[in-house]
């Protein structure tokens, strides 16, 4: 768990530095040239830096060991922080819409030259690179927080892209295209926000994390296991809790049954390093009577 925190913190520190530098450059440049949208974009990057600090604190807390009050650990602090990040996506969408409406009603004519485009295009490229890096690391370390944050950074890149296009349109007298384009992209950002929120709310509601069919297949191969049922998994992608019922021969001693249960656990811990704890209920043949048959089979994950 310490390793996980160190890795995610390192990625967040890199993203934090990039947000600080890009934010300061955009704010200063925006003030010097009176291009309001660049200043606003810069403040957005500075706010993102603040989000990164919240993320670092959240990952630090979620990596703390379990205690008397929180015996399953504190990993869901990271899930909660991811939900907060999805809310910030709605804020970005709101900012783009209000900027578009402003442009629509007030004919702002900023002073635009080649250096304006150069600054914006360089920040756009850097933003896209940081977003892709963060997403790649999020997938590598199974971190929902990094994946959510990378989606936020991607939406910032879209916002910068809109500014470049709208400046170009304004220069060429096509002012009407700017608000239309902005509204379309805001809808995309809102869609991403809803999708991140849904994924993380599901985790808070203990959605099944590991495919139960796969677990059953592994366990059935272990010598002495007659049947396995009521498999459940919950937690976050990087920290999973698993439980199940294991039916063994009626005449086995507790020692023999425990031996089978330990073999199952060792096999599963080796195959799924994200599993933090496994609880196995050993049952004689009558244990089959409490098997739960789930009706919802639209997703194979829920069939056990």
| Residues at the interface with Zn ion (CB under 5 A) | 245, 283, 287, 290
Question: Which residue lies nearer to Zn ion by CB, 102 or 291?
Answer: 291
**Sequence-separated (6 or more) residues with CB below 8 Å from residue 156:** 41, 44, 45, 48, 92, 127, 131
Question: Which residue lies nearer to Zn ion by CB, 42 or 287?
Answer: 287
Q: Is 241 helix (H, G, I), strand (E, B) or coil?
A: strand
Q: Is 236 helix (H, G, I), strand (E, B) or coil?
A: strand
Report the candidate in 132, 128, 123, 121 with the shortest Cα–Cα distance to residue 11.
Answer: 132
CA distance 18 to 45: 9
Report the candidate in 66, 86, 91 with the shortest Cα–Cα distance to residue 76.
Answer: 66
Q: Which residue is nearest to Zn ion (CB)?
A: 245
Tokens 């900027």, located at residue: 99
Question: Which residue lies nearer to Zn ion by CB, 152 or 245?
Answer: 245
Least distance (Å) between residue 271 CB and Zn ion: 23
Least distance (Å) between residue 246 CB and Zn ion: 8
Least distance (Å) between residue 280 CB and Zn ion: 11
Cβ pair 19, 46 in contact under 8 A: yes
Q: Is 197 helix (H, G, I), strand (E, B) or coil?
A: helix
Question: Which residue lies nearer to Zn ion by CB, 134 or 283?
Answer: 283
Report the candidate in 80, 79, 23 with the shortest Cα–Cα distance to residue 50.
Answer: 23
Least distance (Å) between residue 227 CB and Zn ion: 8
Report DSSP state, residue 141. Answer: T
Report DSSP state, residue 294. Answer: -
Least distance (Å) between residue 257 CB and Zn ion: 14
Least distance (Å) between residue 292 CB and Zn ion: 9
Least distance (Å) between residue 231 CB and Zn ion: 11
Question: Which residue lies nearer to Zn ion by CB, 161 or 284?
Answer: 284
Question: Which residue lies nearer to Zn ion by CB, 197 or 246?
Answer: 246
Q: Strands across the sheet with 275-283, in order?
A: 227-236, 239-247, 275-283
Question: Which residue lies nearer to Zn ion by CB, 95 or 283?
Answer: 283
Concatenated DSSP letters for 32-98?
A: HHT-HHHHHHHHHHHHHHHHHHHHHHHHHHHTSPP-SS-TT-STHHHHHHHHHHHHHHHHHHHHHHH
Q: Is 283 helix (H, G, I), strand (E, B) or coil?
A: strand
Least distance (Å) between residue 254 CB and Zn ion: 17
Report DSSP state, residue 288. Answer: G
Least distance (Å) between residue 247 CB and Zn ion: 7
Question: Which residue lies nearer to Zn ion by CB, 103 or 245?
Answer: 245
Question: Which residue lies nearer to Zn ion by CB, 174 or 292?
Answer: 292
Q: Is 111 helix (H, G, I), strand (E, B) or coil?
A: coil
């Amino acid at each position: 768990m310490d390793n996980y925190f160190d890795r995610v913190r390192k990625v967040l520190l890199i993203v934090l530095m990039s947000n600080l530098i890009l934010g300061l450059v955009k704010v200063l440049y925006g003030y010097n040239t009176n291009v309001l949208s660049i200043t606003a974009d810069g403040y957005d990057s500075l706010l993102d830096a603040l989000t990164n600090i919240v993320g670092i604190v959240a990952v630090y807390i979620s990596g703390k060991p379990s205690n008397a009050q929180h015996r399953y650990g504190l990993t869901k602090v990271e899930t909660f922080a991811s939900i907060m990040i999805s809310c910030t996506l709605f804020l970005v969408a709101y900012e783009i819409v209000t900027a578009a409406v402003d442009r629509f009603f007030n004919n702002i004519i900023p002073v635009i030259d080649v250096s304006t485009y150069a600054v914006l295009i360089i920040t756009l490229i850097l933003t896209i690179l940081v977003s892709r890096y963060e997403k790649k690391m999020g997938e590598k370390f199974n971190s929902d927080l990094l994946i959510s944050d990378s989606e936020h950074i991607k939406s910032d890149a879209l916002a910068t892209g809109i500014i470049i296009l709208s400046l170009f349109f304004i220069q060429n007298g096509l002012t009407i295209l700017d608000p239309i384009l902005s509204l379309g992209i805001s809808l995309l950002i809102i869609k991403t926000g809803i999708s991140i929120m849904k994924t993380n709310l599901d985790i808070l509601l203990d959605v099944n994390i590991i495919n139960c069919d796969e677990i059953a297949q592994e366990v059935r191969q272990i010598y002495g296991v007659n049947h396995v049922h009521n498999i459940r998994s919950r937690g976050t992608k990087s920290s999973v809790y698993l439980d199940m019922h294991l039916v063994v021969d009626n005449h086995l001693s507790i020692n023999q049954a425990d031996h089978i249960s330990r073999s199952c656990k060792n096999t599963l811990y080796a195959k799924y390093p994200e599993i933090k704890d496994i609880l196995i209920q050993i049952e004689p043949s009558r244990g089959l009577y409490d098997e739960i048959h789930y009706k919802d089979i639209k997703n194979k994950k829920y069939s056990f």
